[in-house]
Amino acid sequence: MFRKASNLPGARDEEEEEAAEEAEEEEERRRRRMAADTESKLQLVHTHIRPFPDFPKKGILFRDICPILKDPAALTAVIDLFEEHVRKNHKQVDLIVGLDARGFLFGPLLAQRLGVGFVLVRKKGKLPGTTVSVAYDLEYGKAEAEIQEDAVAPGQKVLLIDDLLATGGTLYAACQLMKKQQAEVLGCMVVIELKELNGTDKLKPSQCFLPNSVLRTTTSQTAGAGAGAGAGAGVMSPRKQEAKHTVLHFSQC
């Protein structure tokens, strides 16, 4: 009695090897599609960040995110990239914490995608009820960031979000505020990082990571250090130099 060739041990091994190879090839194709999709989204976000030299005053290069908010596809791309990063790197997230004020634009959308709550970190005196605050240094003076006392519970896992990382002072204060509430800070996320200000150094010790494709633009600027007002951010530097910004940055506090 003869067996069918496909039932022979050697044939089965060969079929299994072929199936494994096909599965590996399909997985590789999937990874390439995802990488191309990520690159496409980063490019879309990048083209919707509009620079304004000498605003709000001379020497500041202002990064305007209004075009992102105006374009549904660009805004969706930003939230997609944040969501993909969170789902890939964090098994459990309890809260998204947004910084005053542009973190309020992206944070609720991401929180809704993830099915978690959203908490506001505001400037001193803007929240009702009992609050908890942390003071931090500005270029000229001090400021305070605060949350409502019952906004974050001890042990909750939180991610912080804002539009821009410059010197890192505000994000660092927000991290300290979360730790004061005994929350576990999983990391920080921003749409734009101003590379030349080394804001990630303020958040150390931490491992900083970016999506596979990092987009940078260069320009010249002059003068001290600061942030612009309105829907975007600006920066001045002590001397004329190359200014870089990275689109979509993630940092662990």
User: Which positions are catalytic?
Assistant: 102, 139
Dihedral sign of CA atoms 70, 76, 82, 83 in order? positive
Q: Is the peptide bond before 205 cis (omega within 30 degrees of 0)?
A: yes
**CB burial string 173-188: b at 16+ within 10 A, e below:** bbbbbbeebebebbbb
The DSSP code sequence of 149-186 is TTSS-TT-EEEEEEEEESSSHHHHHHHHHHHHTT-EEE
> 141-145: long-range contacts (C-beta < 8 A, 24 or more apart)?
143/173, 145/99, 145/100, 145/121, 145/170, 145/173, 145/174, 145/177
Based on the number of CB atoms within 10 Å of its own CB, is 26 exposed (0-12), middle (13-18) or buried (19 or more)?
exposed
